[in-house]
Every structure is written in structure tokens, then in C-alpha cells.
Amino acid sequence: MLGSYDIKGNLNFITILLSIGALLLGLGVLTFVASNWIYLSKAVKFLLIIACLIGVNFAGVKVQVRFPKTSRSLHYAGILIFGAGIFLVEQMFNISINFNSSFLLWAIGTVFIGYYLKDVFILLFTTFLLFIYINGSIFVDETSYPLAILVFLPALYFLLKKFDYPKYLTFFINALAINTIALFLMEFVPKQGFENSNTIVLSILFVLGIVLAYIPVRAKLQNITHIQGHILHGITALFLTFDFSIWFPLAYFVFLLYLILKGSLTSIVIICALIFRYYIYSFDFLPKSLTFIIGGIMLIGFGFFFENQRKKEGNSMSNQSFRPLIVFSIPVLILLILAFPPVWTTMTGDVIKIKTAPVDPTDLFRGSYVALKYEIESVRSSQVDDSIKTEFNTRNMGDYKKVYVRLKQNTDGLYVVDYVTKEKPGEGVYLKGELEIPYDLQNAKTIQIRYGLDNYFASEEKAKEMEKDALANPSVAVVKVRNGNVVLTDIIIE
């Protein structure tokens, strides 16, 4: 009876059922550990994550031969648990890293599993994680560049070849590459001081679209790559019509007509969009009925040409035992590496106290936490070493520079800033930080430094209680420090 549920292309009722089950299992683990384990110790929490991750992947390997679809669903659940583990380890040890870097770690773990299982869906999911990583790096955390994508893209194209160029994976990897190029252009071209930087970026992408539309590639890549090239030059051309005089849209319109005569069906959609872009303005100088008649005739004409072209072309467009151990150990190793620095600092670091003032928000991926501000985040210009100040003119304003902040203890037992240097201090208590290059060099009285101590994770109830108490009483952060590394361990409200 189950055979009657078969669907074309290796996707059947059993696969869908197991995939949904894996999704529900992964989401169940994610929501359970995020909201119901606040009474467990950190050690138990961490071991629970590792045990779940190892357990589902081990079970998946064991049943792979007899029940391949069930095995695949268990590995899907393992990937979701791995992602949950990244965010929860960051929460447990108050690791304050950019959320886009968390997605990068998630992608690193999944890409190896996707390659081992020869699973297109896992690689599609990896591509989705990388989309979040690169766009988050540029638009959310403007101080970091997604350089890891420069390593990932060649690896993904290598896997694409190994998988014999499946069309959906080809489309999304190409889209990821285009997205990466566009983001880097948007980031670096404006910094060159050009007056019309947006027009330059659009023009470069327009040329790239033309190149992609005609570049000679493998037969299995050709249709998708060429279509994406047409889409890219079509979208950018629409934006460029607002920047250039009338000669550009007229020349581009003639170019599109040429492509249509050559059999480019995608160009019909683009030319309709171009007409619609100017069609809106025709309301101002043509009778409305005539405007609709002209537009209707154009669309019907293109529809007729489209159908006729389709008829002419017909269907023309149309060491083995150790490998799973190594592959599925990668997510576990990533979690261990992520947890080791804060654990080692917590075990061996010196205890210091820093004055702070909390405010309560909510993090979408890691649950409730108390957002913190510190007195040591603002330093006087006189406390910054001259060797750092000399670099201000050579770096872009608003960028961040890695520094070391030497601390000293005041009469209240709290630690305050002594001085800021780019050289690692030989003794005493010091923190690694990132100094924000001030925009106003001449009048900057204070300079901001961040230490990765911004968030203290707690239950929603505790976070609200701390926020309420902190409004009336001063608060102190208790941290562990070792070799400049720092871990926030507690908040004391006096």
C-alpha cells in the first residue's frame, strides 16, 4: 500500500514522513533544552547536548544499511541538534560572539555530513546557513567581513561537481556566489571615495550578469547559469534606468529584442518589467483607457511570441568504516573547541569584579538574557597608547582594532581601566578588546571598547527580576580572566 504514495524523483511518502519526524524531533530537542533545563548544572547541560548529538548520529549509522530513509532522518535531526548545541553552548558559558559566526560554525559541521551522505538537501541547508552568515556579517555586524565564504564557495562548487550538478543545488550555490560578490562590492566600493558608488556597483553587477548569460560552462550548468545571468542583468538594468539618461534604457530595450529573436524566453519577462517601469509614468500624459490598451496589446503580443517560441523549441530546454566516525565527529569537535576556552578560563582564571548596569532584552536564538554596559567600555583618550592613535588616520572611522586593556583595582575592590595598548602586557590583569576608531578624532573625549561581555544569559523570570532590581541598586559583574580571555560568571546586585 505504501508503494502507492511514491512521488517522482526519489521522494516518496516514507521519505516525507521521516523528514517531518526528524524536523519535529530536532525542534523538540531545541525547544526542550532552551526552556526546561535551567536547573541543571553546566556540565550536565553540555554532556546532554553531546550525548544527543552522538546518539542520533550513531543510531543513523547503525541502521543505514537496513533502513536508509530512517537513517537519513536521524542525521537530519542530528544537524538540528548540532545547531541548537552551538547556541546553547554560547548561552551556557556567556560566549558573546556574532550570531552570524554561529551560523558559520553550523555550516562547517553540516557540509561534511552532506558530502559523506551525498545528500543534496543537507547541502541546500548548508547554503541557506551561509546566506545568513554573509548577509549578517555585512548588514548586522558591520565590523566583520565574511572571509570564510571565500573558502566555502570553492568547496561547494567541488561538491557540486561530485554530485553531478543537481539543478536546485546549482541554482542556490550560484546565487550564493552572486550574493557574495554583490555584498563585497557594496562594502568596499563606497570606501574608495567615488561620488556615485551605488551606480558603479550596479554597473559592475550588470556586466557580471551579461557575462554569466553567455559564459561557456558545462552543459548541466548552462541553462541555470545563463538564466541567472539574465535575471541579474535584468534587475540591475532596471535600477540603472534611474541613474542614466534615456539612451541606456533604449539601448537595453533593443538588446532585449535581439535576445528574444535569438530565442531567450527570460528576456521576455525582463522586457515586460522594463516596459512596466515606464508604463506607470504614462498615466501622467496619456488617457487611462489608451494606456491600458497599449499595455494589453504588448503583453498579448509577447505572450503569443512566447507560446510560438515554445512550440518551435519543443523539449530542447527541457577506508569506509572510519569515514562515518570522522564525519560525524566534526560537529562534536566544533562544540568542544567552542566550549574549551571559556571552560579553561572559568577553571583557571582570576576572579575580578567590574561595575555594570543591566538592561533586559530577548535574543531570538539563545533565549532571555541581560544586556550589560560597563564603565570600562568607555576610556579617556589619554589612556590610549600613542602607537594606537597613530593608526587612526590609516583606518576607516568606525572600524575596530584589537587592543589589550590593562586593569587596576580601585579602593572599592572593583577593577577599572589603567591604560590601553596594542602590545600584550607582560603582567597584571588585562583584557582583550576591540577599540572603535572614533569618527571625530579632534574632539573625541572618550573612546569605546568592547570585550564580548555584553550578554548574561538567564531565565526570562530571572532576567526581568534583575532588570527591576538594577534600576534601584548598583550592579557588579563577576568575571574570570586568564591571558586576556574573559568569561562572565555572575551578576551581583548590591
Is 382 found in the same domain as 476? yes
Among 102-106, 281-285, 325-329, which range has the highest average pLDDT?
Answer: 102-106
Is 435 found in the same domain as 336? no
Judge whether residue 250 has pLDDT over 70: yes
CB 289 within 8 A of CB 297: no
Spatial distance between the Cα atoms of 269 and 237, rounded to a whole number of angstroms:
13
**Domain for residue 399, yes or no?**
yes
Is 472 found in the same domain as 356? yes
Q: What is the pTM of this model?
A: 0.70
Spatial distance between the Cα atoms of 491 and 243, rounded to a whole number of angstroms:
54
**Domain for residue 262, yes or no?**
no
**Domain for residue 397, yes or no?**
yes
**Domain for residue 42, yes or no?**
yes
Mean pLDDT of 53-62: 86
Q: What is the pLDDT of residue 71?
A: 85
Mean pLDDT of 286-305: 62
Mean pLDDT of 284-303: 59
pLDDT tens-digit readout, 188-202: 887 777 778 888 988
* Helical (H) or strand (E) element with 478: strand 475-482
Domain boundary among 348, 381, 402: 348
Among 34-38, 110-114, 234-238, 356-360, which range has the highest average pLDDT?
Answer: 110-114
Query: Where would I find the beta strands (DSSP E) of 42-194?
Result: none
Is 20 found in the same domain as 43? yes
**Domain for residue 365, yes or no?**
yes
DSSP state of 175: H
Is 357 found in the same domain as 341? no
Of 91-95, 138-142, 244-248, 462-466, the range with the lowest mean pLDDT is: 138-142
φ/ψ of residue 297, rounded to 5: -60, -40
Mean pLDDT of 116-133: 91
Is 456 found in the same domain as 334? no
Q: What is the pLDDT of residue 44?
A: 77
**Which residue has better confidence, 7 or 155?**
155
Is 430 found in the same domain as 343? no
Domain boundary among 348, 364, 384: 348
Is 449 found in the same domain as 416? yes
Is 38 found in the same domain as 13? yes
**Which residue has better confidence, 195 or 407?**
407
Q: For residue 80, what are the domain limits?
A: 1-96+323-348
Is 43 found in the same domain as 1? yes
Among 138-147, 290-299, 369-378, which range has the highest average pLDDT?
Answer: 369-378
Spatial distance between the Cα atoms of 195 and 200, rounded to a whole number of angstroms:
9
| pLDDT band (50, 70, 90) for residue 177 | very high
Half-sphere exposure of 220 (CA within 13 A, CB side): 11
Pairing between β-strand 475-482 and β-strand 485-493 as defined by DSSP bridges: antiparallel
**Domain for residue 367, yes or no?**
yes
Is 384 found in the same domain as 343? no
CB 198 within 8 A of CB 225: no
Q: What is the pLDDT of residue 127?
A: 94
pLDDT tens-digit readout, 305-330: 666 666 665 544 445 555 565 566 66
Q: Tell me which amino acid residue 179 is.
A: N
Of 86-95, 106-115, 288-297, the range with the lowest mean pLDDT is: 288-297
Q: What is the pLDDT of residue 323?
A: 59
Residue written as cell 540591475? 236
Spatial distance between the Cα atoms of 339 and 435, rounded to a whole number of angstroms:
25
Q: Tell me which amino acid residue 372 is.
A: L
Of 16-20, 88-92, 436-440, the range with the lowest mean pLDDT is: 16-20
Q: The C-alpha cell of 336 is what?
A: 568542544
Query: Which 3-state string (H, E, C) describes 265-282?
Result: CHHHHHHHHHHHHHHHHH
Q: How many domains does the chain have?
A: 2
Beta partners for 403?
Answer: 433
CB 113 within 8 A of CB 79: yes
| pLDDT band (50, 70, 90) for residue 400 | confident
**Domain for residue 111, yes or no?**
no
Q: The C-alpha cell of 363 is what?
A: 535574543
Average pLDDT value over all residues in the chain: 76
Closest CA to 357 of 258, 261, 492: 492
Q: What is the pLDDT of residue 318?
A: 44
**Domain for residue 125, yes or no?**
no
Judge whether residue 20 has pLDDT over 80: no
CB 211 within 8 A of CB 229: yes
CB 407 within 8 A of CB 425: no
Q: The C-alpha cell of 19 is what?
A: 523528514
Spatial distance between the Cα atoms of 137 and 152, rounded to a whole number of angstroms:
15
% residues pLDDT > 70 (the chain): 68
* Helical (H) or strand (E) element with 369: strand 367-374
Q: What is the pLDDT of residue 484?
A: 83
Judge whether residue 359 has pLDDT over 70: no
* Helical (H) or strand (E) element with 367: strand 367-374
| pLDDT band (50, 70, 90) for residue 101 | confident
Is 427 found in the same domain as 404? yes
pLDDT tens-digit readout, 414-467: 888 888 888 888 888 888 888 887 776 556 778 888 887 777 776 666 666 666
Beta partners for 1?
Answer: none
Q: What is the pLDDT of residue 1?
A: 37
Domain boundary among 314, 333, 348: 348
